[in-house]
Chains A and B, each alone.
Chain A
Amino acid sequence: MSAVSVLTKPARARAAVVAGQRPAGIGGWAILLILALFAVGPLIIFVFAAFKTQAEIVENPFGLPADLLWSNFSQAWQQAHMGRGLTNSLVLVAGAVAGTLVIAGLAAYAMARLDLPGGGSVILYLLVSSALPMQMFLVPLFFIWTRTGLYDTKLGLIIIYCATLTPFATLLLRAFLLTLPRELEEAARIDGAGELRIAARVILPNALPGILTVALITALATYNEFLFAVTFLESDEQMPVSTSFFAFQQSYVQNTALTAAAGLIMLVPMLAIFLVLQRRFVEGMANTGMAA
C-alpha cells in the first residue's frame, strides 16, 4: 500500500482541476504497468517460445526468438487438428451460450420480475448447486447419458454445460434485472401483453449488457472445459479444441514450441470475443447487483 501514497500529491492536485476524473499519477501508472507485466509477462515468454525451435528454447528459454518460425503454427494447427476442434468448440459454445441464456433468462425473469414464490430458497439452492464438486457426478451422469443416446453427442455435452452454468448465470441475470425499473413492464402488462412478450420486447433490450456478460462468462467456461468433454464425447470428430490441445500436449510434451503455438491459437478466439464484448461486459457488471 505504500506505493499508493507515492501518487497522493499529483493525484490530488489534478483531481481538483479536472472534475469527475481522478488521474492516477506517475506512481499509479507504474503500478498499472507492473500489474500488466505480471499478467502478460509469462505469456509473452510463451509467445516467444511459439516462434522458436525446440533447441532454441532449451538454450534460450526466455529471450526473443532468433527467427520467427511461423511454421510452428501451421504444424500445430495440422497436428492438433485445430480446425476441427475449433469448429466443434464453436458449436458447443454457441449451444451452451444460447441454452444458458434462455434457461437462466427465463428463471432470472421469474425471480426478479414475477416475484417467484419461494425465490429465497431457490437462490440458496442455486448458490449451493453452483458450488458442488462435479467430479462426483460423472458416473451417475454417464449412466443416464448412455441410456438416452446423449453420450458422444454435442447436444448431450451442451445440456451438461447448460445445467452446470445456469445457477451462476441465473443469479447474475437476476441481480441485473432487479436494477431495471418496474415501470418498464407494468405499463406493458396493463396493455395486456403476455409475459413472454413483455420479457422479449421490453426487458430483453434493456438487459442486453447483463445478457452479454453472462454470454461471455458462459462462452469462456465452455471453451476451456475439459473433464466433461473428455468423458462424454468419444469420437474424434466430436472433440472440441480443449481436448485436442490436451491430447496434442500429451504426445508432444517434448516440443514446447509446438505446444506454445497450439496454445496461442487456442487463445485467439476468446480474446477476440472479449475484445468485442468487453465494453458491454464492464457495463453489464456495473449494472448487476453484483457490482452495485
Chain B
Amino acid sequence: MNRTPTGLSRRNLLKLGAGGALATFLGACAGGAEAPGAKGKSGKLTVWAGFASKEAEDWYRANVLEAFNKKYPNVPADLVIKQFDTMAQQQQTALAAGAGPDIVGGSGPAALREYAAAGYLLPLDDYAKKLGWNDRVLGWAMKTGVVDGKLVALPTNYESMQIFYNPATLAKHGWTYPKNRAEFEAICREAKGKGIIPVSAGNADYKDSNEWHVSVFLNHIAGPDAVRQALKGEAKFSDPVFVDAIEQARGYFTQGWWGGAVDRYFTNTFPQQYQQVAKGEAVFNITGTWGLGEIGPFFGKEGGNDAEWAWGAIPSLRDGVPENIWELAVGGTRSINAKSANPDAAADFMDFHLQDPKLQGRALAEANFAPPPIAMSESDFPADLDERVSSLYAAFGDAAQVGYTTWTFFPPKTDTFIIEGWEKLITGKLTSQQYCQQIADTFGPELAAGVVPPLPE
C-alpha cells in the first residue's frame, strides 16, 4: 500500500508554503488571538498543519510536537490537521474576518505582502534579535521574509529544481545524461521518434505547476543574469532574450516533448509522471526537491518493478548560459498573527524548528521533510539517509550560480499571469512575443509599487 505523498498533496504543499517543510503550513488559534466571543483556547497554541501522509503526521507528532511541548510546557501546542487544497482559502477567510491562526502560514511573497500591508502580521525583528535567527537562517532565505524593511516571516524550508531519470532507460538507448542544450535536445528528438515521452510533465493535479517549468526556462534558457536584471528593472521581460527563450520553450511543448502532447500536459497526473519514468515510458521528469519525498514508492519493490531513480542537474539550455545553475526557492513561511495572545510562545514554536539540525536531518531521512534554511553540516544527516537525497542537497548547496523561481522572487500579479498565460501560450492563444509583453506589462507597475521581493546578494 502506497502512502507516500502524492501529486495532489505535493502540489498543494508547494503552493501553500508547505513544500515538504516541517509542519508545513502552520497556524495557531491561540486564546485571545481570536475575535471576542470566539472559542477561547487560552494558554494554548493551536497549530494548523497539513501533512503529505499519515506517516509524516505521526512522525511530526512524536518527534517534534511532543519535544516542543516538553520543552515549553507553559503554552503547549496542539495540532489541527488541515488539507492543503483548502487551507490557504481558510486562512485568508479567517484573517480577513479578524480571527484566524496565531502562526500564519505563507507560500510566497504574494499573500505575505498583502498580509503584512493589512497589519495581520507581527514584526519579528525583536524576536530575531532575541532568539538569534539572523545567525542561524541562511541570509538569502531570511531576506524573503522582509517586507518594507521589516521581518514578517521566517522561511520554513528551501527548494530547488532538478531532473529525475531512470539510468536504465538512458543505458538502454545508448544515451548519456545531457550536459548542454544540444545533447538534451538530441535525446528529446530521438526519444520522441521512438514513441517515448522526453520529459514527463503535466498539471492535472496542480495547475500552478506551470510555473515550475517557466522558472526552469527563464533561468536555464534566458539565464539567471537576465532574470535578475529584469527583476531589478534594468531590463525588460519583453526583451528578445526572454522572447527567444519562451519561443524555444514553447517549441518543447508544442513538439510534445513535455508530457507527450500539449493536451496530455493538461491531464497527466503526478503519480503518472513518476510511473512513466519508472517504466521507461518517459526519459526525464523535471520537478522540485519536494519530489525527493514522492518518487521513491514508484520504483523498486514498492512500485512493482526493478527500476532505480537518479537525479541530475538541469543542463544549460542555451549557449552562454552557465552549467550548474540551481534555482532558489523558499517553500513556505511562518509568521505570527498580530492578534496572537501568545506571541512569545509562537516565536518559541517557530524557533524550535530551527534549533536542532540533527532533528531536521532525521526529519528528512525518516519522513521526507525538506530541511529548513539553516546551516547544516554533513554530520547532521543520519547515516541511513538515502545518498541520492544528501547528494542532491549538497550539489544544490555548492551551486555555482543561483536562479530565481517565480514563486519566491516574482511579484504576485506577474506570477499569476505567468501561470495563467502559459496555458494560452502553449495552446496557441498567445504568441511568445505577446506572452512576454504581458509579463512585462504586469511587472512594470508592480516594480513601481515596490512589491518585487528582495533578491539575494
Instruction: Judge A-B direct contact (beta carbons within 8 Å).
Output: yes
Given contacts A149-B38, A254-B6, contact A247 B83 (CB under 8 A): yes
Within 8 A of A (CB), among B321-377: none
In the complex, chain A residues whose CB is within 8 Å of the CB of B400: none
Stretch from A97-105, A108-116, A137-145 at the B interface? A137-145
Task: Assess whether B90 is in contact with A231, with CB atoms less than 8 Å apart.
Answer: yes
Tell whether B197 is near chain A: CB-to-CB under 8 Å: no
In the complex, chain B residues whose CB is within 8 Å of the CB of A250: 6, 8-9, 12, 83-85
Chain B, residues 1-45, CB within 8 Å of chain A (1/0): the string is 111111111001000000000000000010000111111000000
Task: Assess whether B97 is in contact with A146, with CB atoms less than 8 Å apart.
Answer: yes
In the complex, chain A residues whose CB is within 8 Å of the CB of B84: 250
Given contacts A146-B35, A231-B89, contact A254 B83 (CB under 8 A): no
Which of B38, B97, B297 gathers most chain A CB within 10 Å?
B97
Assembly CA distance A231 to B86 (angstroms): 8
Tell whether A155 is near chain B: CB-to-CB under 8 Å: no
Task: Assess whether B269 is in contact with A253, with CB atoms less than 8 Å apart.
Answer: yes
Tell whether A9 is near chain B: CB-to-CB under 8 Å: no
Chain A: which residue is nearest B81 at the CB level?
A236
Contact of B6 among A145, A236, A251 (CB under 8 A): A251
Nearest Cβ in chain A — how far from B410, in angstroms? 27
Assembly CA distance A39 to B275 (angstroms): 32
Given contacts A143-B97, A151-B39, A250-B9, contact A230 B4 (CB under 8 A): no
Chain A: which residue is nearest B79 at the CB level?
A236
Task: Assess whether A251 is in contact with B9, with CB atoms less than 8 Å apart.
Answer: yes
Task: Assess whether B37 is in contact with A148, with CB atoms less than 8 Å apart.
Answer: yes
Tell whether A21 is near chain B: CB-to-CB under 8 Å: no
Assembly CA distance A145 to B39 (angstroms): 10
Tell whether A206 is near chain B: CB-to-CB under 8 Å: no
Nearest Cβ in chain A — how far from B238, in angstroms? 35
Chain A, residues 35-65, CB within 8 Å of chain B (1/0): the string is 0000000000000000000110000000000
Interface bracket on B = 35 or more
Chain A: which residue is nearest B53 at the CB level?
A251
Tell whether A87 is near chain B: CB-to-CB under 8 Å: no
Tell whether B186 is near chain A: CB-to-CB under 8 Å: no
Nearest Cβ in chain B — how far from A201, in angstroms? 41
Contact of B37 among A146, A231, A236 (CB under 8 A): A146
In the complex, chain A residues whose CB is within 8 Å of the CB of B288: none
Tell whether B102 is near chain A: CB-to-CB under 8 Å: no
Task: Assess whether A253 is in contact with B7, with CB atoms less than 8 Å apart.
Answer: yes
Contact of B3 among A55, A142, A246, A252 (CB under 8 A): A252
Contact of A230 among B2, B3, B39, B86 (CB under 8 A): B86
Within 8 A of B (CB), among A227-262: 230-231, 234-236, 243, 246-247, 249-255, 258
Interface bracket on A = 20 to 34
Assembly CA distance A134 to B247 (angstroms): 41
Task: Assess whether B29 is in contact with A139, with CB atoms less than 8 Å apart.
Answer: no
Chain A: which residue is nearest B99 at the CB level?
A146
Main SS at interface, chain A = helix
Contact of B271 among A139, A148, A253 (CB under 8 A): A253
Assembly CA distance A258 to B1 (angstroms): 9
Nearest Cβ in chain B — how far from A72, in angstroms? 10
Task: Assess whether B80 is in contact with A235, with CB atoms less than 8 Å apart.
Answer: yes
Given contacts A146-B97, A147-B37, A148-B37, contact A252 B6 (CB under 8 A): yes
In the complex, chain B residues whose CB is within 8 Å of the CB of A79: 54
Contact of B35 among A55, A147, A235, A254 (CB under 8 A): A147
Chain B, residues 399-429, CB within 8 Å of chain A (1/0): the string is 0000000000000000000000000000000
Tell whether A74 is near chain B: CB-to-CB under 8 Å: no
In the complex, chain A residues whose CB is within 8 Å of the CB of B269: 253
Task: Assess whether B37 is in contact with A142, with CB atoms less than 8 Å apart.
Answer: no
Chain B: which residue is nearest A227 at the CB level?
B86
Within 8 A of A (CB), among B156-181: none
Assembly CA distance A54 to B275 (angstroms): 13
Which of B1, B90, B98 gathers most chain A CB within 10 Å?
B1
In the complex, chain B residues whose CB is within 8 Å of the CB of A153: 39
Contact of B96 among A75, A139, A234, A243 (CB under 8 A): A139
Contact of A151 among B2, B3, B38, B54 (CB under 8 A): B38
Which of A145, A146, A152, A235 gathers most chain B CB within 10 Å?
A146
Tell whether B195 is near chain A: CB-to-CB under 8 Å: no
Task: Assess whether A146 is in contact with B34, with CB atoms less than 8 Å apart.
Answer: yes
Within 8 A of A (CB), among B69-86: 80-81, 83-86
Contact of B80 among A54, A139, A148, A234 (CB under 8 A): A234
Task: Assess whether A253 is in contact with B8, with CB atoms less than 8 Å apart.
Answer: yes
Chain B, residues 239-265, CB within 8 Å of chain A (1/0): the string is 000000000000000000000000000
Chain A, residues 148-166, CB within 8 Å of chain B (1/0): the string is 1101110000000000000
In the complex, chain A residues whose CB is within 8 Å of the CB of B7: 253-254
Contact of B36 among A138, A142, A147 (CB under 8 A): A147
Assembly CA distance A235 to B35 (angstroms): 17
Tell whether B205 is near chain A: CB-to-CB under 8 Å: yes
Instruction: Given contact pairs A250-B9, A254-B271, enumerate 5 new A-B contacts (beta carbons under 8 Å).
Output: A139-B97, A142-B99, A143-B35, A250-B85, A253-B8
Instruction: List residues of B whose CB falls within 8 A of some A CB.
Output: 1-9, 12, 29, 34-39, 51-54, 80-81, 83-86, 89-90, 93-94, 96-99, 205, 269, 271, 297, 304
- List 18 A–B pairs whose Cβ atoms lie within 8 Å, in order of A's numbering: A75-B1, A138-B93, A142-B97, A147-B38, A148-B37, A152-B39, A230-B86, A246-B83, A247-B81, A250-B9, A250-B85, A251-B3, A251-B8, A251-B54, A253-B8, A253-B9, A253-B205, A254-B7
Closest 4 CB pairs of A and B: A142-B97, A143-B97, A146-B99, A253-B6
